[in-house]
Amino acid sequence: MNLLYKSTRNAEKTVTASEAILKGLADDGGLYVPVSIPKLDVTLDELKEMSYQETAYTVMKQFLTDFTEEELKNCIAKAYDSKFDTEEIAPLAKVEDTYYLELFHGATIAFKDMALSILPHLLTTSAKKNNVKNEIVILTATSGDTGKAALAGFADVEGTKIIVFYPKNGVSKVQELQMVTQKGANTSVVAIHGNFDCAQSGVKAIFENKELAKEMDEAGYQFSSANSINIGRLVPQIVYYVYAYAKLLQNEEITAGEEINVVVPTGNFGNILAAYFAKHMGVPIGKLICASNDNKVLFDFFETGVYDRNREFILTISPSMDILISSNLERLVYMIAGCDAKKNSELMKALKEKGVYELSDDMKANLSDFAAGYATEAEVKNQIANTYKKTGYVMDTHTAVAASVYEKYRQESGDERKTVIASTASPYKFSRSVMTAIDANYDMMDEFDLIDTLEVISNVDIPNAVEEIRDAKIRHTLECDPDKMEETVKSILKR
C-alpha cells in the first residue's frame, strides 16, 4: 500500500513520503501528515524478538512506502550503529517500579539523536529518488539539543549544508560547546540575540519566503528542515515506543495486550506525538502524559482547550523545553479536527495573529488519550535529588520534569498501570543543574570538575560526547539579531 501525505493546511494536494521529507514544511506553511495512521502488520509476540534495527524497519516501512526495502534498510544500518554506546540503542532502566526509556545513548547524548542520526540518510535518499540536483541547505532552529544532533548527523554529508540558529543565552554550557566546536566544512552555527521562539519563527519565515526560494534555486540551493516539523523526524521516533513495549514484554514486566502509560517531557510536541502515533498503530498505550516545565502553555491547553502563547517566556533548567509555540501540536489539532485543513488553518491563523486559539467542544472531546501536568523548578530539583538519594539513579532535568509530573499524576488519578518515562537527555548534558540539585555546594566547581564528580557519584562513565569537548577548538562565532537571519543565511551561502 502506498501511503501519501497531506499538509495540515490544504485538503487537496498529496505528496509521497520522500517528497514530504525533502520539503520539510509544506508551501502553505502547514505540516505534512500521513492521510491515515497505518496499523502494525506484525504481532506483539513477533516484535518482542526483534532488534532495534528490525523494529525500525517494521515501523518505518509502513510510513515511508516509496522507499525500497534496500534503501530503508541501508538508512537504518547507517544510523543505528556504533555511534550509539549500547547495542540496545534505546535501553529501558527500571528504577523502583517505573521504567526509564533512555533515549540518550547516541552521538550527542540527547533523544534528538534517535531521529537525527537517520534523517540525513532519509533526506539524501529522498533527493536521489526525486532527481534533486540542488544542494540541500538544512536550516534549523534549536533550543539546544536539535542543533548539535543535526550538526553531527549532517556534518560532511555530501550534497548538504547545515545552518543552526540557537538562542545565545538559552542553552547550557555543554550544549553551547557541543555546537560551537562542531567540525565539518558544510556546518555553520549562529547565536541569535533572542529566545528559541524568535529563532524558530525566523526559520519558518525563511521557509515561507517564495522569492527567496526562487533566488536560492537559481544559485543551486534548496532549503529543508531538520526540525521536528519534518515528517522524517517524527517517523523514526515512533520506533522506540514500539520497541519499549516489546522490551517490557520480553522482560516479562507486562503481559501481551496489557496497557502501559507513557510520560514525555515536552517542548515542541514532537516526541509525544510520536507516542500518539505508536498508540494509534496498535501499541497498547493507555495515557500519553504530557509533562511541561514552567512554560506550561501545553498544560493549560489540555486543561482548558485554549492555546495561549501570550505569556512571559521563562528560562528554566530544562531549556530544551523552553518553548511557547509547540510546532507539532498543529498535527494533533488537525487530527482532532477530523483532518479538517480549513478548521486547522483558521486556528493557526489566530495563533499567528493573536497568539491564541480555542478548540471547539468536539475537538476537546478528542483529547482523551492525553493527560497533562507541569513541574516547577523546585519540584524538578527535588525529583533529581530524591531519586538519587533513594536509588542512586541520576536523571537529567528534562527527565525530572516528566518524573515529577508522573508522581503527581499517579497520586491524583490512582492510575497504577505500568509506566514508561521518556528519558530525553543524559545528566552529563546538564551537569551543573543536575549536580546543584543534589547539593547546592557543587555550584562552586567549574564545568569539567562537575562532570568528573558526576561520574563518581552516579557510577556511569562519562560519555564520549562530553570527553570530546573538553579541549576542543571553538570553530563557530557568528551571532545575529532575529531580524537579520535571512541576510545571515545568504552571506553564509556566498562564502
Task: Between 242 and 317, name the residue whose CB sits nearer to ligand PLP.
Answer: 317
By CB under 6 A, is residue 271 in contact with ligand PLP? yes
Distance between CA atoms of residues 227 and 233, nearest Å: 7
Q: Which of 117, 186, 188, 320 binds ligand PLP (CB under 6 A)?
A: 320
Task: Between 110 and 363, name the residue whose CB sits nearer to ligand PLP.
Answer: 110
Q: Which of 174, 229, 321, 324 binds ligand PLP (CB under 6 A)?
A: 321
Task: Between 15 and 289, name the residue whose CB sits nearer to ligand PLP.
Answer: 289
Task: Between 127 and 336, name the residue whose CB sits nearer to ligand PLP.
Answer: 336
By CB under 6 A, is residue 90 in contact with ligand PLP? no
Distance between CA atoms of residues 170 and 293, nearest Å: 15
CA dihedral 172, 175, 181, 182 (to 10 degrees): -160
**Lookup result for grid cell 562537575:** 450
Q: Residues 95 to 114: which contact ligand PLP by CB under 6 A?
A: 110-112
Q: Are 93 and 423 a contacting pair, CB within 8 Å? A: yes
Distance between CA atoms of residues 99 and 118, nearest Å: 25
DSSP per residue, 371-390 = EEEE--HHHHHHHHHHHHHH
Distance between CA atoms of residues 86 and 88, nearest Å: 5
Query: C-alpha distances in angstroms, 340 versus 311, 330, 334, 336?
Result: 28, 12, 6, 9
Site string for ligand PLP, 220-239 (x = CB under 6 A): --------x-----------
Strand partners, 486: none
Q: Which of 91, 120, 147, 267 binds ligand PLP (CB under 6 A)?
A: 267
Tell me how far, at minimum, the Cβ of 331 lies from ligand PLP, in Å. 12
Q: Which of 48, 279, 296, 398 binds ligand PLP (CB under 6 A)?
A: 398
Element containing residue 450 per DSSP (H, E): helix 447-458
* Nearest CA-CA partner of 226 in 146, 152, 155: 146
What contacts 17, CB < 8 A, 6 or more positions away?
A: 3, 5, 63, 64, 65, 66, 67, 126, 231
Distance between CA atoms of residues 435 and 155, nearest Å: 32
Task: Between 18 and 316, name the residue whose CB sits nearer to ligand PLP.
Answer: 316
Q: Are 309 and 324 a contacting pair, CB within 8 Å? A: yes
By CB under 6 A, is residue 384 in contact with ligand PLP? no
Tell me how far, at minimum, the Cβ of 301 lies from ligand PLP, in Å. 13
Task: Between 9 and 429, name the residue whose CB sits nearer to ligand PLP.
Answer: 429
Q: Are 110 and 228 a contacting pair, CB within 8 Å? A: no
Q: Residues 155 to 194: which contact ligand PLP by CB under 6 A?
A: none
Q: Are 250 and 51 a contacting pair, CB within 8 Å? A: no
Site string for ligand PLP, 415-434 (x = CB under 6 A): ---------xx---------
Q: Which of 269, 276, 313, 442 binds ligand PLP (CB under 6 A)?
A: 269
User: Rounded to the nearest 5°, which phi and psi values hold at 357?
Assistant: -150, 160
By CB under 6 A, is residue 266 in contact with ligand PLP? yes
Distance between CA atoms of residues 421 and 147, nearest Å: 23
Task: Between 203 and 341, name the residue whose CB sits nearer to ligand PLP.
Answer: 203
Q: Which of 71, 145, 197, 407 binds ligand PLP (CB under 6 A)?
A: 145
Task: Between 153 and 265, name the residue whose CB sits nearer to ligand PLP.
Answer: 265
Total interface residues for ligand PLP by CB under 6 A: 17
Tell me how far, at minimum, the Cβ of 457 lies from ligand PLP, in Å. 21
User: Rounded to the nearest 5°, which phi and psi values hold at 149?
Assistant: -65, -40
Task: Between 71 and 102, name the residue whose CB sits nearer to ligand PLP.
Answer: 102
Task: Between 135 and 377, name the residue whose CB sits nearer to ligand PLP.
Answer: 377
Q: Residues 111 to 130: which contact ligand PLP by CB under 6 A?
A: 111-112
- Residues near ligand PLP (CB under 6 A): 110-112, 145, 228, 265-271, 320-321, 398, 424-425
